[in-house]
A and B are shown apart, each in its own frame.
Chain A
Amino acid sequence: MPKYFAGCDLGSTTGKAVILNASGKVVASALIRSKIDPIETGREVLEMAAGQVEGLDVRDISYLVGTGYGRNEVPFANENVSEITCHAVGAHYMDPGVRTIVDIGGQDVKAIALNDDGSVLEFAMNDKCAAGTGRFYEAVVRTFDVTLDQFSELSLKAKKVVPVTSQCTVFAESELVSLLYKRHPPADIAAGVQLSVAKRVFTLARRVGIRPKVTVTGGCSKNKGLVKALEKVLRVDIVNLGMDPQFMGALGAAVIALRKQGN
């Protein structure tokens, strides 16, 4: 029976799983919306990933590492590791040249500085409020009555950026409504939102030092408008890791699992 190694990242809004074979190749990945019960989230996402590998049952995984907010609840996990470490390992695994990671998740933002071997040098987190996180964007797109992807594309069509000063999720909604009522072009307002979030992220990233290469992970990394705004504010090119960046935590956990077996 071939050996498989897995990482499971139970985030605040999504559950992710990645499975590697003994050679370190990604053979499966899965993502689902987090449920009320983190154990159920873990079970479902792991089964979904295992289902992509012929004949593989979750119980047959050689080593499983849990991470994320719900790392202690990952079923069948052999151990759990902090999401900071897992994101660092995952990003470094995909691109050893990465030195700075900005992870924008569902409910928090993290900035992580790596050294040459991929170890964490420093990290900073904003987990006190939802400003600039996935929850924030969910509130914003409701105001615009579009999907997140549509919002992202909309922001890229801006002719000029309308400043958005509110970063608090609650106050931002009312500010956006006010700006829309003043007949500012939605695209320009959307670009203002992206820039506002990028500036907030910049403040956090600066705490750990911004060294190229820089990459963005987490669900919000799929927001092209935000990535563009980040490149503008950080004054660096954001590197693409070659894999869905939302899976970096789970990938890192899987890599750690792989290494535990001496590979």
Chain B
Amino acid sequence: MSIYDLKGARVSPMEQARTLYYKAEAYGHIANMGLRVGPLTMLGHLRSKPWLKVLLDCGTLFDMSTKGREGLYRQASAMALSRVVKAITETLEGVFTRPEYTVMHEDLVPPEIIYAMGLNPWMAELLGIMGPLIRSDFAERYIDVSENAGTPPDICSLPKATMGLALKGEMPRPAAILTSNMPCDGGMSCYTVLERELNVPTFRLDVPYNFYDERSTKYFADELFRAVKWLEANTPGRMDWDRLKEICDERNRSVEYQMELWDLIREKPAPLAGEALYLGHMIFMVAMPGRPACTEYMKTMVDMAKRIRAEGGALHNERFRAALWNPPTLVYPELIAWAEQRYGVVTLMDMISYNRHPYIDTKSPQTIMEGLSRIIMQGPMARHTRGPQTNFFTDLFDLYERFNLDMIWMAGHMGCKNTMALNGMFREKCRERGIPLLIIQYDLSDTRVVSPAEIRKQAEGFMETVIKAEPSK
């Protein structure tokens, strides 16, 4: 990531002070983690897990998301990042202080049941996701380790990075692994390597291929029940069904605010955009849902959005509204801020954030498990990587209308075979609907495949040639 592509906004000393406050707050969270884990213990982790040092560079993420912004939008962006850093450090603290209670899981396993069992969820992909956001080349050495160990170079770089961490001995060792047959072959093979390298008990959920009918929902709910029994047999955790209800109720409260936030960003100009939306969802609704901090985050963002609306919108020069479909560009998170500044494009939605079944019926353990089943089976990275093409396109075109978008930017991760196979169909369907489509050819975690400069070049070509947008002066 290079913040030199951005021009600094003219902001008052007070605004600069607020930004600095949130940045300092983030570093405070990191320091607190170190203190609570214990300085000597933390030092040991720093030696055995060099990736921890990347946290110290999180200031660049703040700089990226605030440099070109102003007003309350700038403040909201900084606040969002501080909350995200706090959530990550809290997770790491749990992993470091209670490894015997830690359950490693992939992103298509509901963390709610892990929390409800008094265990620590540890989404293995989190490092591969957050690392490149802070330091673009973070994942590359782990990718090399993975490929040198025999992993095919053309699979998704996120599982390659995740495997590489384990192969290098830098992945925190959990008590157990809870994974599934999703979202793709690369993801599945990743957990095979993790199981072997970490040498811990592993349970694989069977997510049904056909996932729309009640039979599938009940089947997967039974799988979740089976997983609970397995976890009780292989970890110190015990399911507290009342606790699970509380967690899911909390999640529903978070969703209420998120739905309100989505209603707000339908407005023109949008009162919020960018990292506050997509990172917030990734952390508080996918990786670590069901905690009061999640509800607090969503509520805060709703409040901020209302205040930003009164201020005239997040981007005073909003000209275009876009979805960045597929996971956002991890190695070039600056793309969003750059697009705002250069062309007045606000990014309002992405694949990970858009979910069709957000609520959970908490009447009984059975209904809770069925609700979690639907969230997983019909959520992004599951629904969009399996089954007919309508799974992928229906959601996309629904949100195109819902959020009053002008164009779609597809983060065309070359390693994602599922979505890349849809490119031709994607173009045809957008052509039929008259929707301008940019497919960015890039790699999610490896800048050596396509550099950030090349990513920008693709975006510039599209904006200036197809959209006929003049760059901002």
Contacts and interface: CB of A to CB of B under 8 A. Distances in A.
Nearest to A85: B465
B427 interface: yes
DSSP class of B's interface residues: helix, strand, loop or mixed? helix
A27 interface: no
A209 B427 contact: yes
A250 B466 CA distance: 19
Interface string A185-210: 00000000000000000000011110
Contact of B464 (A85, A119, A122, A209): A85
A212 to B, nearest CB: 16
B310 to A, nearest CB: 38
Contacts of A119: 468
A82 B465 contact: yes
Given A121-B431, A122-B431, A84 B461 contact: yes
Contacts of A85: 464-465
Interface string A103-130: 0000000000000000111110100000
B424 A207 contact: yes
Contact of B427 (A82, A120, A208): A208
Interface string A127-143: 00000000000000000
A121 B428 contact: no
Contacts of B431: 121-122, 209
A209 B428 contact: yes
Given A121-B466, A122-B437, A122-B466, A82 B461 contact: yes
A248 B48 CA distance: 60
Contacts of B465: 82, 84-85, 120, 123
B466 A207 contact: no
Nearest to B457: A127
Given A84-B465, A207-B424, 7 more contacts: A119-B468, A121-B466, A122-B427, A122-B437, A123-B461, A207-B423, A209-B431
Contacts of A208: 427
Interface string B440-473: 0000000000000000000001001110100000
DSSP class of A's interface residues: helix, strand, loop or mixed? mixed
Contacts of B423: 207
16 contacts: A82-B461, A82-B465, A84-B465, A85-B464, A119-B468, A120-B466, A121-B431, A122-B427, A122-B431, A122-B466, A125-B461, A207-B423, A207-B424, A208-B427, A209-B428, A209-B431
Interface residues of B, number: 11
The 8 A-B residue pairs with the shortest CB-CB distance, nearest first, are A84-B465, A120-B465, A85-B465, A82-B465, A120-B466, A82-B464, A209-B431, A207-B427
Interface string A51-90: 0000000000000000000000000000000101100000
Contacts of B464: 82, 85
Size band of the interface chain A makes with B: 10 to 19
A121 B434 CA distance: 9
Interface of B: 423-424, 427-428, 431, 437, 461, 464-466, 468
Nearest to B462: A123
A206 B466 CA distance: 17
B20 to A, nearest CB: 38
Contacts of B424: 206-207
Q: Which of B437, B464, B465 has most A Cβ within 10 Å?
A: B465
Interface of A: 82, 84-85, 119-123, 125, 206-209
Contacts of A207: 423-424, 427
Contacts of B461: 82, 84, 123, 125
Contacts of A82: 461, 464-465
A125 B460 CA distance: 14
Nearest to B432: A209
Contacts of A209: 427-428, 431
Contacts of A120: 465-466
Contacts of B468: 119
Contacts of A125: 461
Nearest to B437: A122
Contacts of B427: 122, 207-209
A95 B431 CA distance: 23
A72 B395 CA distance: 41
A65 to B, nearest CB: 14
A221 B465 CA distance: 23
A7 B424 CA distance: 34
Q: Which of A122, A123, A125 has most B Cβ within 10 Å?
A: A122
Contacts of A84: 461, 465
B456 to A, nearest CB: 14
B389 to A, nearest CB: 17
B186 to A, nearest CB: 23
Contacts of B437: 122
A120 B468 CA distance: 9
A121 B435 CA distance: 10
A121 B423 CA distance: 16
A122 B468 CA distance: 12
A206 B465 CA distance: 19
A2 to B, nearest CB: 30
A84 B461 CA distance: 8
A82 to B, nearest CB: 5
B376 to A, nearest CB: 34
A123 B462 CA distance: 8
A119 B464 CA distance: 11
A122 B423 CA distance: 14
A123 B428 CA distance: 13
Contacts of B428: 209
Nearest to A115: B434
Contacts of A121: 431, 466
